[in-house]
Structure formats: C-alpha cells, structure tokens
Structure 1
Amino acid sequence: MNSSWSKPFTTTNLQYFHTLPAIEDITPDWAWGGSTGKGIKVAVIDSGVDASHPALSGGVNGYMAIRERPDGLIYDTEPHEDDYGHGTACAGIIRSFAPECEIYSVKVLGPALAGRGSIFTAGLRWAIENGMHICNLSLGTPKKDFLAPLHELADLAYFRNIMLVASANNMTLPLFPSIFASVFSVASHDINDPYVFYYNPSPPVEFGALGINVRVPWLNGSWTTTTGNSFATPHIAGIITLIVGKHHGITPFQVKTILHALSSNTAHTMPTDRVQAQKDG
C-alpha cells in the first residue's frame, strides 16, 4: 500500500507544469523583460520604511510593527516610520528594479538597528503567513538559539514558494537564516551596475551583488552612500521580484536556476576569450 507521501505521484493526482528553457536559452529578456513587479508582495523586514521618500513612489502598501512586552508580543498594523534609515534604503533599492511591486514594511528593528531574535522570528512568520511573495532580510542573528525556529520558517517559506533573500554576515561568522540552503544568501561586490550579479559555486553564500559604495535613500527624504551586504541583498530581491512578476507560480529552486544561468560569471554569459582562458588555465 502506498504511503500518503506517494499520493502526489499517483495517476489521478499527478500535476503537470512547464519546464524552464535550456540553460543557454535563458536570457534577461526571457527572465524579466517587461516585468515591473506588479502584484508582487515584498516584505522588507527591517527598521521600518519611510513611505514619503521620493524613492518610494507608490508608498508602502502595508505595515506590521512587532514589539515585545512582558505579557507577550504586540502586532501593530498602523503606519510607522523608519527608525534608522536601513529599511528605507532596502525598500528603495527594490523599487528601483520593480516600481510596481507592493512593499510591506515589517518593523522588527529599533533606533540602534538592534532587535530581539524573538521579534525577528515573529516578523518573518507574519510575512510567510500573510501572503508575501518575497522577503528581504538584510539582517539576521548569529545566536544558535534561533537556528531551529528560523530553519523551520525557511523550510515553510520554501514549500510555499516564498523567496527569502538574506544577507550574509559582514564578518566571518555564520548568520541565520542566510546559511540555510533554501535561502538566497547574498554578499557584496563593487561593480557599479545594479544588474551585475555573481554566483558562488561554493556556498553557503550563493550570490554577490552591488553592495559597496551604494547610493541609497535614507531618512527625511535624504540620500547617502553606504556599504554592506545589507544593500547587496535588495539588489537580488529586486531582480527576483521582476522574475516572479513575469513567471507566476515559479519556485525558489527554479529562480535559483535562472540566477545561476544569468550570473555574470557563468560561462555562457562571459566573453569567449575569458572562457577559453579559464579552460587553458
């Protein structure tokens, strides 16, 4: 007798779906050409988002601020401000790629850009359970107490086709959830082109994007130039938003395949002389 785990593979339950093109046929135009991110919900789990900033044309589509009190967690859906500037920077980068995406500000960090792991975990759970398509996590925790709950949430997101895009630590320490295989983990490069990204064949950090000397929106309508994996992460989140906006129902592993195919260090995207030099060397 077949177990319940085999039920999806029985003749009456088997699902059919479209496959991706051959790797060499995946192009930026196929992947995201014409997409604006319309209808795609992106949670920026951070210090808040300043909806009035010119970079956030279209504002913020929804809010959730989580605070901890002695009697438990408080969930507040009223509009809020950015306590630091970090969340506005990330949201602005994502909107620069996907101007019609829906930004949801999930506030889990305070004025010192600090927060508790329990609040961070609650914010991520809220985003997963409330229909987000993509979560930008330019934050994380090195505390092993949160390894298991964050791993559980990362798996839950993966099985629901929710893309978690997370920053690697700026220091040489593991950061949860960025080291989990189901997550799109991101570190920085300094090439001043928002669409240049690299794939790392030796994870846990899988993707490199612009994160050094990045001009970003900040508090009170201002702009600043800053550096960190935090700002590389929304570059990848923005590109993923375009892909998901064009290919509805696409899965995380399919999106990783597309990013792998289109990364600037993949052989078929490199100039012929560089590919040959690598083969010879």
Structure 2
Amino acid sequence: MSGAAPAARRTIRFAHTSVGESCDPGHLAAPAPVSRAWAWGGATGRGVRVCIVDSGVTAGHPQIGDGVRQLAAAREPAGSDPAAPRAWSITEDTGGDVAGHGTACAGIVRSLAPDCELTSVRVLGGNLQGNGDALLTALEWAVAERFALINVSLSTRREHFKERLHDLADEAWFAGVTLISAAHNSPVDSYPWRFPSVISVGAHAVADPERVESNPRPPVDFFALGVDVAAPWLGGATRRVSGNSFAAPHITGLCARILERHPGFGTPQLRHVLAATADNIAPRRPE
C-alpha cells in the first residue's frame, strides 16, 4: 500500500495535521536505508504487550476479538473521614467501554497488529471527560507493568499535572516502555504528547493505514491516518471517525509489528525506524 500514489488530501479542521510536506533524507543519521520488509515485514504484533489508556474497550467486538484484559482507574472507597483524600488504584473493569473512543483505538491497533496482547485501562467517562489523577494512576501502573507500548489518545491541559506526567514519561523512556500519544485537536499545549520522550502523532487524510509521514516541523513527530477512519464502535457497530486520537493507534499498531521483529527496541529505535521508513522522505540527491 505504501507504494501507491497518495489520494487527494481532504480539508482537515483540527490542529497538528499534515500539510503534505516532504522531509530531507539528510536529517536521517543512518548508515544504510531501512526497508519496511526489515522493519516489520510479515509481523502481526505477536507477543507484544499493548496498553490502551482510554474509555475502555467493548469485549468481543468482531473487529477486536476476545482476550482483552479490562481494567479501570478508580477511587478507593471513602474511609471513616469523608473529607480525607481518596487514593486511586487499578481495578478490574466490568463496565467495558462507556463512550466508544477506546474501542475505536483498540480496533485500529488490532487492524494493524492482530496478534498483539491488548490491555485496556479505562480513565474516561461517557462524555470523554476524565480525571488527571486517574490518568496518572493508569500510566504509573502501565509503566510499572513494563508494557512495550502504551497508547494515549487523550491529554490534559492542567499545569499541575505537567511535572508528574513529564517525570513519568521520562521513566517510561528509560524503562523501555514507549508512550504513543495523540496531539490535541486544538492548537493548545497539553500533555503528555508535548514531551520529547513521547512519540507524538497528528493526522493525515490519505486513506492508507500504513502510511506514515515524518514531520519536519515541531511539535508533532509523525502523522498517520486520522480522517474518515472506519473503526469499531459500541454495540458491535462500525463508525467513521476523525481526529488525532485515531491517528495515534495506527502508529501503535505499526510499532507492535516492529517490536515483534526487533524486541529489544525502545522509543529511540522505534522513532528512528518510523522516520527512516516514512512515506514523505524526499529522494536522496545524487552525490
């Protein structure tokens, strides 16, 4: 699919999206070209553990299948002092997806890496609103569990969570855990996608789920399909969705395939392979 000519671009009305710009191959410090056959050819993500931090996942959806572990970040019961702060913990989730957003993200990952091992941690409610402490609890747990990949198609703008999220993103980097985070759909600063230790993703509109574009301009690292994406939804349905949220799991799925072939790779190596195999790398000029 990557060799086909890109389709005409649609107008995208959210921020941090591709404008079709090429990248200079001279910026890739590689001793030799990297092929997609070497990077992920034939891989299905088998054995790669992926955590989806979102609104939950619909169990048994035909586009996702069974075997998804379902957890949630929840406040612990109040003690004898109702005014005392209540801690957050990770518990079994019997409610499943409450919004459809997490199911869509999980289905996109599975469409590219059908044999990856999926775990869902629900932190969002039915209105796609969440609590920053719930997000931190989920990410702390996922990093401690050493998931290879954590897909975070959400972010917070609250500054008082920024420092803890930044420390956690750096901890993941050094632990060999890769955070893949969707850029905000508005032109604002939010986290964790703005941190350099995170692979950040915006959207392009080319109808190719394996098309990756490397961004030559900050702050987003890569663009993936995020416009008019056919994704699983609540009740076994399929819905057309758009947003950077749905671009990020395309990158997560491809990273799962890379990690099956190259299980020792961390965030730096995954970032380099994605950039070296991107579809918008301009042809090298003759020496």
TM range (shorter): 0.7 to 0.9
Contact map agreement 2:50 2:148 (CA 8 A) in 1: yes
Return the alpha-carbon distance in structure 2 between the equivalents of residues 82 and 172 of structure 1: 28
Partner-residue secondary structure (3-state), 2:168: helix
The structure 1 segments of at least 4 consecutive aligned residues displaced by more than 4 Å after TM superposition are: 21-24
Deviation of the 1:36 alpha carbon: 1.1
Structure with more of its chain in helix, by fraction: 1
Q: How many residues align?
A: 250
Contact map agreement 1:166 1:186 (CA 8 A) in 2: yes
Match of 1:26 in 2: 34
Return the alpha-carbon distance in structure 1 between the equivalents of residues 103 and 143 of structure 2: 21
Relative to structure 1, is the Cα distance of residues 261 and 74 closer, same or farther in structure 2, using a 3 angstrom cutoff? closer
Relative to structure 1, is the Cα distance of residues 58 and 26 closer, same or farther in structure 2, using a 3 angstrom cutoff? farther
Which letter does structure 2 place at the counterpart of 1:45?
V
Contact map agreement 2:113 2:256 (CA 8 A) in 1: yes
Q: Which residue among 263, 266, 274 is the counterpart of 1:251? A: 266
Match of 1:37 in 2: 45
Task: Give the 5 Å matches for 1:180-191.
Answer: 180-191=195-206
Which letter does structure 2 place at the counterpart of 1:126?
W
Relative to structure 1, is the Cα distance of residues 79 and 27 closer, same or farther in structure 2, using a 3 angstrom cutoff? farther
Alpha-carbon displacement from aligned partner over 1:69-117 (angstroms, at most 9, x marks no partner): 5532243124441000000000000001111100000111111111110
Return the alpha-carbon distance in structure 1 between the equivalents of residues 200 and 232 of structure 2: 23
Alpha-carbon displacement from aligned partner over 1:150-204 (angstroms, at most 9, x marks no partner): 0011001000111100010100001100010011100111000001111112222
Deviation of the 1:40 alpha carbon: 0.7
Out of 87-96 and 248-257, give the one that drifted further: 248-257
Return the alpha-carbon distance in structure 1 between the equivalents of residues 131 and 266 of structure 2: 30
Match of 2:128 in 1: 113
Which letter does structure 2 place at the counterpart of 1:49?
V
Deviation of the 1:266 alpha carbon: 1.0
Query: Is 1:59 aligned to residue 85 of structure 2?
Result: no
Return the alpha-carbon distance in structure 2 between the equivalents of residues 201 and 25 of structure 1: 18
Q: TM-score, normalised by structure 2?
A: 0.83
Task: Give the 5 Å matches for 1:202-281.
Answer: 202-268=217-283
Contact map agreement 2:90 2:141 (CA 8 A) in 1: no
Alpha-carbon displacement from aligned partner over 1:180-235 (angstroms, at most 9, x marks no partner): 00111001110000011111122221101100111110001001001100000000
Query: Is 1:193 aligned to residue 208 of structure 2?
Result: yes
Relative to structure 1, is the Cα distance of residues 79 and 102 closer, same or farther in structure 2, using a 3 angstrom cutoff? farther
Unaligned runs of 5+ in 2: 1-28, 79-85
Return the alpha-carbon distance in structure 2 between the equivalents of residues 108 and 264 of structure 1: 34
Q: Which residue among 98, 108, 111 is the counterpart of 2:113? A: 98
Deviation of the 1:23 alpha carbon: 5.5
Return the alpha-carbon distance in structure 1 between the equivalents of residues 87 and 96 of structure 2: 23
Relative to structure 1, is the Cα distance of residues 24 and 192 closer, same or farther in structure 2, using a 3 angstrom cutoff? farther
Q: Which structure carries more relative contact order (alpha carbon 8 Å, separation 6+)?
A: 2
Q: TM-score, normalised by structure 1?
A: 0.85
Match of 1:166 in 2: 181
Which letter does structure 2 place at the counterpart of 1:124?
L
Contact map agreement 2:225 2:246 (CA 8 A) in 1: yes
Q: Which residue among 85, 99, 114 is the counterpart of 1:84? A: 99
Contact map agreement 1:186 1:232 (CA 8 A) in 2: yes
> RMSD across aligned C-alpha pairs, in angstroms?
1.7
Partner-residue secondary structure (3-state), 2:96: coil
Relative to structure 1, is the Cα distance of residues 114 and 245 closer, same or farther in structure 2, using a 3 angstrom cutoff? same
Return the alpha-carbon distance in structure 2 between the equivalents of residues 225 and 123 of structure 1: 28
